Structure 1
Amino acid sequence: MNAHLGNDAAPALPLASRQDGEYPRPQMMRSHWADLDGTWSFRNTGDDPAWRDGFPDPRDIVVPFPPESVASGIDEPDFHPVVWYSRLITAADLAAAGHGTDAPRVLLHFGAVDHRARVWVDGRFIGEHEGGHTPFTLDVTEALGTEPSTDSPAATDTSPGAGSHTLVVRAEDDPHDLTQPRGKQDWHEQAHDIWYRRTTGIWQTVWLEAVPTTAIRALRWTNLDHETMRLTVRLTGEHPAGTRLRVEATWSEHDEHLATVETTVGPTAHECELVVPIARQANGQAEQELQWSPDAPHLVDAVVTLVAPEGAAVDAVSSYFGIRTTRIGGGRFLLNDRSIDVRSVLNQGYWPDSHLTAPSRQALRREVELIKELGFNAARNHQKIEDPRFLYWADRLGLMVWGEAPGAYAFSPTAVQRLMREWMDAVERDASHPSIVTWVPANESWGVQHIATDPAQQAYARALADVTRALDPTRPVISNDGWEHPDSDILSVHDYEGEGDRLARTYADDAARTRLLAGLGPADRLILVGGAVDRGQPVMLTEFGGVNHQPGAQRDDAWGYTTAADGDDWIARITALYDAVRASSFLAGSCWTQLTDTMQETNGLLNADRTPKEPIERIRRAVLGR
């Protein structure tokens, strides 16, 4: 039996649309959680199965920073095929997670562990997960109910004491396994060309959450149209006949109640759907007041409550959603049925001292702010499934995001299965965010190098695009960003031509569009393959620019597609290339390469430390043309 949370009213919960960016799962919040980030014990040599109970001679590592990074305290960028972590779960951690009679089950959440993780508590195997960029959750209730360890060799500085338990994580990340989805992580020991140092092991937040026996497990928001949302709720545990699920939606900016919807949950149901009509949106003349867009990123708060037959609240979570639609039409990208110029920047999401992990949670907000200050309304998160807290700030501050899969480099049954599974998990994780407007499951034929001629690779790319549409039919899908599209809702092109006049001729008018799509593109790659035809889809220049500029100390290994002589020349080149894009009669959007310098790539608008290479106002004028 569940202990009830009280009467029919939901318990006090944080306001999801106005959170501070700390909560690891921003669209499903509870009142209590325990952050397990910080100093853990670490081993990166040897692989002894006995270490599930703890391990000798550990070093300290700062989680969630990868061991290759300076921020971790390890700072060893060489190969780490297997690494081990350990820390204590204390009584204080359980109390912070809200553990008690109202919430007896304890869930251990991992934001991301690259690439394969196995987990033990007090030497007891709890579970495992494969996929280095997606979250997983393990129920550790039973393990924590066992006699706590009092002699763990991993506890070198602090005695475990009564009520403490030893958590051990083994992470396996074979740097030479090209079937692993890896994105920009280099397979060479030293970073080269456009690839960067690796991110091994735990690289997103580890946290505890206590929940009732019967609980809300997951939420999924879907825009059905301009005035209707669909909420899919997944549940765990048993619930008696007469259990209800209630949703209350509020526009907190104006303290305006928008909707209350209830449905009865079947006794054996572990998933149910509610249609949430927003009545005020029926007035078409006023619907834009509440719609989400980059210029007006309105969010609607929602409290989702599981209610027992007698009226007591069993479980409740706080969430938010945005009302907006995305589609293509007339050769344009449409947001809320209106054409919008997609002005995007390529965002590697890489920091010099912490790699794929942001140096702080505040840095995720600042990244979104900088992108907008530079004049962009969108970001293409390149070859990375970004921390959900970045997406929260994109939702809240108004930034369209292209969600992209980290590619594998080989084509094989194993590579297909791995990327398909991980990408499906990523779409499921992020589909509720209004900021996500486009899905990109493949880039530049990575992992499908012979897609132009190989029917199997064409089928794989089409399958990736189609499974994305099956999971989320509400957003456009790019089948293979850059070239060689077998089935794409947007025809994207990568073109690093450095002269504005020549770029302008390539994208001038409808005749230029026909030439572009009928033959080889700028990288000597076909734009359409596998029987794909021009259906009038929008054409976007989704990588261009890439101008090398080093205003300070010069790197010997500096790399860019073209090089500017100085700051004035750099601004002139950016302006000329954007003038070419603006002059096109058919381009529906663009994506500048890139936001920041990243290791040897010195073609960022910002230095690696996020300082601008020239005053932001100058860069913004070049991007906007005004």
Structure 2
Amino acid sequence: MSSSPARLDDEALRASRQDGTYPRPQLVRPDWADLTGTWSFAFDDADEGLAERWFASPDFGRSIQVPFPFESEASGIHDTGFHPVVWYSRELTADDLAAAGFGADRRLHVHFGAVDYRAQVWLDGVHLGAHEGGHTPFSFDVTDVVGASTGAGAERATHTLVVRVEDDPFDVSQPRGKQDWRLEPHSIWYHRTSGIWQPVWLESTSDVFVTLVHATPDVPGGTIALRLDLNRRPAADADVRLDVVVSFEGEQLASQTMRALDVTTALVVALPLQTNGQAYEELLWSPEHPRLLDVRVTVRADDAVVDEVYSYLGLRSAAVAGGHFLLNDRPYYVRSVLNQGYWPESHLAAPSPAALKREAELIKELGFNATRVHQKFEDPRFLYWADVLGLLVWAETPGAFEFSPRAVARLSAEWTAVIERDLSHPCIVTWVPLNESWGVQHIAHDERMQAYARSLVSLTRALDPSRPVVSNDGWEHVDSDILSIHDYEWSGEVLRARYLDQDACNAVLGGFGPAGRRMLLDGQKVGDRPVMVTEFGGISYASKAVPDDAWGYSKATSSEDFVDRLEAVVGAVAASSFVAGFCYTQLVDTLQETNGLLADDRTPKAPLETLRAVITRTGPAGH
């Protein structure tokens, strides 16, 4: 098996103009080899593979389509049973290495987008390393292994990559989100997503190369704070320089060169065009005008180019003040939809790169300007399309279900890694480390859980002070920049009265909320923080075959009834003179949850233009 070259064309070297297939859209190199496709596969229910050294001579009897979880139909396995240990194997051919640009004086790397939950990796029987965390990327430098196996007297045409994955379905200290711990999905939980579920690919680099490009814009200052990481500190006597060029639609806006003296180089790039206060908005990013600036970073060692990467950014700010969410320092009414990021044929893995683009397009076509990706760290290629198309994103952790030192350590580590991965996406405007007290079920009474929630907020602000943070979406807030409320009341009249004005909202937030949970802990006051209803609706209407366990928070009997109910609840929340935005539940039917605006095949349950009219009528001028 071999892969065809995946070299990006010249247009795609502008990172803002990719086709959506590259797995790491904000750190692009032109040569890479896609390793998705058919791999060998085996269950290891007796957990005997390590002792029997399966990694040394894999003889797996089944095939699987990577990157689809074995539980899914798209994988070709489609076994939803409990299998806590699985193995994968794939041959890397000379064509794969050539497609990745590997050759003399180059380093070869194998990258994994995400493997749920704990992975160990071998190449030609040599242990490369391990990674824990089901939603975060990792990679290994395999140059020395490939070099040793292809050296004099030891040439081989292919190299064997082996991956062992552990994913204990009963371990509720793992950040797992909506993945069910029971054999079959129940209530609001879904089939599991185990093993490799995001792309695997090869690329080559020089000895010194860029590992991270972070961009934090300062809109009032007309500058961009860049953090550029190298794989290692340059030698003291080495002259390693970083050339940065920022452009928009092919026109250069700024350039800067700095010598790299350490792993991290920080620099501030000024954009002269932004000094014109009457024209500075012409480069800003927003859902209405999703303008992206391209960034090219060139690494030179003694004047020779040793690495070049391509990235992009959006000039925008996200903040809160005076009871409003602010985008680019202006009040912005948030029309959001809850998105589970789940497909019936492939579970949490997208069925194709094109499906990620279509998901963002559908959200926009429905009239929303934002989405809350629920209980999932989404594939970076979806975030790319949100950046390109102009879609605000609330990024949320997949929750653990227990409170323990292990659960705290695991979620904190994954959260840190995802902020590091996604910090430069302009689409992300809010961080949500906890949802509905998952993993901190007794936070109202347990000071340890309160301290944990506060610590996650502080950790988030330490890593990224440029965005609002919601401590615990829905209720029991300890330190939130946005006060979010989950309310599945079905009556439009009740909702309208509940959120009519500031006094009504204060009454909700001042005591036990709609779900019977305390809204504000530690004697907090609303103050000038914006209030949003970030889960509501949930109207069940099965437009296709009705599952036996279909449910929602209220039920419609026809498409017309569905639209009437939708108008009632959306119109009620939007009529508030105080609520700064909303998030409707939900975008798509997901297994037994038949409360989507779309069926699970992404077809609308009423004419799309009708649904759009309901959504876009929201947001009074006062917002």
Q: Same fold per TM (> 0.5)? A: yes
What's the CA shift for 1:163?
2.8
What's the CA shift for 1:57?
4.3
Residue 328 of structure 2, aligned match among 321, 332, 336: 336
Match of 1:300 in 2: 293
* 2:100 maps to 1:97: yes
What's the CA shift for 1:13?
7.2
- Distance in 2 separating the partners of 1:453 and 1:223: 40
- Between 1:356-365 and 1:283-292, the stretch displaced more is 283-292
* 2:139 maps to 1:144: no
Residue 431 of structure 2, aligned match among 439, 445, 451: 439
Which amino acid in structure 2 is aligned with residue 294 of structure 1?
P
Change (3 A) 1:459 1:624: same
* 2:192 maps to 1:198: yes
Match of 1:259 in 2: 254
SS of match in other structure, 1:68: coil
Residue 121 of structure 1, aligned match among 120, 123, 127: 123
SS of match in other structure, 2:474: coil
What's the CA shift for 1:147?
2.2
- Distance in 2 separating the partners of 1:220 and 1:26: 13
**Is the Cα contact below 8 Å between 1:521 and 1:527 reproduced in 2?**
yes
Please give the per-residue CA displacement for 1:63-98, whole angstroms capped at 9, x wherever unaligned.
000000000000001112001000011111111111
Superposed, 1:334-413 pairs within 5 Å as 334-413=326-405
SS of match in other structure, 2:348: coil
Match of 2:41 in 1: 42
What's the CA shift for 1:123?
0.9
Match of 1:481 in 2: 473
- Between 1:592-601 and 1:209-218, the stretch displaced more is 209-218
* 2:516 maps to 1:535: no
- Distance in 1 separating the partners of 2:353 and 2:150: 32
What's the CA shift for 1:535?
2.7
Please give the per-residue CA displacement for 1:344-390, whole angstroms capped at 9, x wherever unaligned.
00000000000000000000000000000000000000000000000
What's the CA shift for 1:283?
1.0
Change (3 A) 1:569 1:161: farther
- Distance in 1 separating the partners of 2:80 and 2:523: 44
Match of 1:286 in 2: 279
Match of 2:157 in 1: 163
- Distance in 1 separating the partners of 2:187 and 2:478: 28
SS of match in other structure, 1:52: coil
* 2:211 maps to 1:212: no
What's the CA shift for 1:148?
6.0
Match of 1:245 in 2: 242
* Structure 1 residue runs without a partner (length 5+): 1-10, 150-159
**Is the Cα contact below 8 Å between 1:115 and 1:171 reproduced in 2?**
yes
* 2:50 maps to 1:52: no
Match of 1:74 in 2: 77
- Between 1:565-574 and 1:549-558, the stretch displaced more is 549-558
* Structure 2 residue runs without a partner (length 5+): 1-9, 619-623
| Percent of residue pairs bearing the same amino acid type | 56
- For normalisation by structure 1, the TM-score amounts to 0.94
**Is the Cα contact below 8 Å between 1:494 and 1:541 reproduced in 2?**
yes
**Is the Cα contact below 8 Å between 1:458 and 1:530 reproduced in 2?**
no
Match of 1:88 in 2: 91
SS of match in other structure, 2:54: helix
Which amino acid in structure 2 is aligned with residue 14 of structure 1?
L
Superposed, 1:316-331 pairs within 5 Å as 316-331=308-323
* 2:56 maps to 1:63: no
Match of 2:180 in 1: 186
Which amino acid in structure 1 is aligned with residue 195 of structure 2?
G
Please give the per-residue CA displacement for 1:524-557, whole angstroms capped at 9, x wherever unaligned.
0011013433232100000000000112222211
Change (3 A) 1:460 1:351: same
- Distance in 2 separating the partners of 1:54 and 1:22: 32
- Distance in 1 separating the partners of 2:357 and 2:402: 35
**Is the Cα contact below 8 Å between 2:539 and 2:556 reproduced in 1?**
yes
Which amino acid in structure 2 is aligned with residue 295 of structure 1?
E
SS of match in other structure, 2:550: coil
Superposed, 1:23-42 pairs within 5 Å as 23-42=22-41
**Is the Cα contact below 8 Å between 2:116 and 2:195 reproduced in 1?**
yes
Superposed, 1:511-526 pairs within 5 Å as 511-526=503-518
Please give the per-residue CA displacement for 1:17-49, whole angstroms capped at 9, x wherever unaligned.
000001000011111001100000000134321
- Distance in 1 separating the partners of 2:40 and 2:506: 59
- Distance in 2 separating the partners of 1:109 and 1:54: 22
Which amino acid in structure 1 is aligned with residue 95 of structure 2?
A
Residue 229 of structure 1, aligned match among 200, 220, 224: 224
- Distance in 1 separating the partners of 2:244 and 2:505: 48
Match of 2:4 in 1: none
**Is the Cα contact below 8 Å between 2:239 and 2:301 reproduced in 1?**
yes
- Distance in 1 separating the partners of 2:103 and 2:541: 57
Match of 1:152 in 2: none
Which amino acid in structure 1 is aligned with residue 183 of structure 2?
E
* 2:572 maps to 1:577: no
- Distance in 2 separating the partners of 1:618 and 1:352: 26
- Distance in 2 separating the partners of 1:412 and 1:578: 39
Match of 1:273 in 2: 266
